[in-house]
Structure 1
């Protein structure tokens, strides 16, 4: 039996659609990202799954039934809005959530201190959360999510406010937990996180399910083939009618959706024949960032009228 079962799940807010007929299964130990532009239904889907919002239609089951806080499956949920416990001390909040997830008080305190030391916050244990920087507060809220080693991690924009060093630290921490069998649902706009941490991906668009599949398949099915090259000097205006696009000084690419194995070799021959001094040459699939831009374009930069 799947740990997560979502079937025909819909949520309407009056005449507005939050999500529409979403359907997927997620087995224990699997990892999946939910992505889409603002207003596409990501947060509504998660809230329906966790019983925080009642769906209009369909089912959202965790371990075989609608989720209730008393269920034996332990969930660590990092919501998009994280304004709670601001006046409380860091250590007190972490210890509280450790005991709520079944740790005895001593074990909870030990785990809390271990986490803070690992995250570079050991000296801030007795500091009120509101006195910390945004990045430090984010680490604390992630610690709340991780306390007690939950079976299911549901993380909504987990690295907001993180610099590259802390993103790397976060990725390592999450990968360790999924490596020990935790199930992960990741809601994010950061496509590199998706590639680093998840096996599957669900694209939402306007509340509807646009694509569900493996991350590697998504790049192949939704993306393009990109032949890139670096060169010295100037690139002629046309090279045998190839639709080349400059990507910066000394860099250009050709984007094509056709499966033409010989195309890169023909392009390279034509560049050399035109006198272009090619210094590097590769063909690759689109990255998830490029897939996202191709799918959503300008809509990804606009806020939805309803934040769902």
Structure 2
């Protein structure tokens, strides 16, 4: 195995592993396996997740077969053989996805397996005389972590103030980058509750006859892009992931351009800037508490990381640049041109 290079004190060096199939335990075999591509990448956690692929080969009716990264001229329909072990703590469902030419053709759900030995025939009519490529993708279906009490509190508060909902949404989306204590999992699930609440507000305004902004040319362009995102599910190698991201784009479009803009119009842009700064204060204070708590604990020694792996990048995303402050407070828009060779901007 080859461990990941991005290692920091307090974290395991072998969380991301390249598993290489060797014909012999010597240096020449490693080079030969790397050249041939006989390897796969896995996530590893000693006490929680240990999934090993022992065999993945394809055979035909004549008995010919090809192992990982091998080639075979088929006689009849291809049969796929998948074998491995799984140690999951706590026991969870393991899903093995078979992908042909970039498209998922079969997904096998295994309930808390200790080992798996799968075999099936690809009898699809889509197989032609051209070369076909097969690969595997394995994932764990963890039970969703949903803090419904927190969601219900947010729902009750939002009836009195949309600003609270906007504040919670910014905080939730920002917290999705916290890499420890399971905070990112909670934030990723909580974002759906908050973004769906935004949609309820929009539809509520429509049904109750409240003032809703007019549809503009930008909305038409945005809907075309969102429609294309949903259409891409039909040829995506990971349809579920593409569907999730497409829904996220749609919810963010509704939240930003139909709720936050309306809130800024009625309350003033300074109010939105104030909400962003309040989130920054929470992240700032939490980052300094990370000196004493968290996985790194850099007090007196070690490397200060804050609550994010890339704290400066997160702060840059949340803190508007001077040209954006000008737009908020003076309504004078300046040209912002991203330079491909520098992180600076021209204004």
Give 1 or 2: higher helix fraction.
Answer: 2
Question: Per the shorter chain, which TM-score range?
Answer: under 0.3
Q: Which of structures 1 and 2 has the bigger CA Rg?
A: 2
TM-score (norm 1): 0.27
Give 1 or 2: higher strand fraction.
Answer: 1
Greater relative CO (CA pairs within 8 A, separation 6+): 1
